Amino acid sequence: MNQNRPLPLNRITRYVMTHEASLGTLLAAYGAFYLAAVIMGGWTWADWGMDVFTFPHTAIQPVMPRGFISPIFFVTSLPAMLIGIALLCDYCVREIRFGLTVVGERVAILLTVFGFAYVVVGAWPLQAVVDMPWEWQKQIMGYGLGFAWGLYLLGLLVLAIGGVSLFLHSREYRRRHPEVSVGLA
């Protein structure tokens, strides 16, 4: 056996760390898109195994029963979104600690937008379901207070990490380009 060849787990870890921003973006986008599709489709835990689709059957039948499509997307999209967000947050924290780059600034913008959008637009009325103006907010609350508050706190965490990282990138940019900051003062 070759002693210089890295173990498969080390190679996977190195690959993930090398492509952390793109993998995190892909997983977070996949998770958020399909989680939103399942939630806005009206599926809840009480509907497990039941067909909740409002559109008629098509000529092409899916491989699995239609009642299991939403649960499978829910069960895969929630961890994908959490892992993607964790990768993006880790990327921003490592950028803050070890040096700022252009990619880090873009990831910080992405995290700030995601966190701001969910905290301000999505979850601000967490009190009574009656007070929520949009139907999808009521559907999120249908998964229980733990799920709704978990998403809200995750949005706050993402907003904080993205905002701090974006602030530090902005400060570093103004330090490197003082001629730009003179016109802003």
What whole-number distance in Å separates Cα of residue 144 and Cα of residue 60?
A: 35
What mean pLDDT do residues 31-54 have? 74
Span 110-157, pLDDT tens digits = 999 988 888 877 665 566 666 666 777 777 877 878 888 888 889 899
What whole-number distance in Å separates Cα of residue 124 and Cα of residue 152?
A: 8
* Geometric angle at alpha carbon 82, from 78 and 85, rounded to 5°: 140
Give the count of domains, the chain: 1
What whole-number distance in Å separates Cα of residue 38 and Cα of residue 24?
A: 21
Q: At 146, which helix (H) or strand (E)?
A: helix 145-176
In a domain, 2, yes or no: no
What whole-number distance in Å separates Cα of residue 185 and Cα of residue 183?
A: 6
More confident residue, 26 or 130: 26
What whole-number distance in Å separates Cα of residue 33 and Cα of residue 40?
A: 10
In a domain, 167, yes or no: yes
What the block records as the tokens of 86 is 């964790």
User: What's the mean pLDDT when you consider all of the chain?
Assistant: 79
In a domain, 1, yes or no: no
What whole-number distance in Å separates Cα of residue 32 and Cα of residue 81?
A: 6
More confident residue, 46 or 10: 10
**Could you tell me the sign of the dihedral formed by the alpha carbons of 54, 60, 61, 64, in that order?**
negative
pLDDT of residue 54: 57
pTM of the model as a whole: 0.76
In a domain, 3, yes or no: no
What is each CA distance from 22 to 101, 110, 171, 184, in whole angstroms?
Answer: 15, 12, 25, 33
Which pLDDT band holds residue 104 (cuts at 50, 70, 90)? confident
In a domain, 57, yes or no: no
Domain that holds residue 81: 8-50+62-184
Q: How many CB atoms lie within 10 A of CB 32?
A: 19
In a domain, 123, yes or no: yes
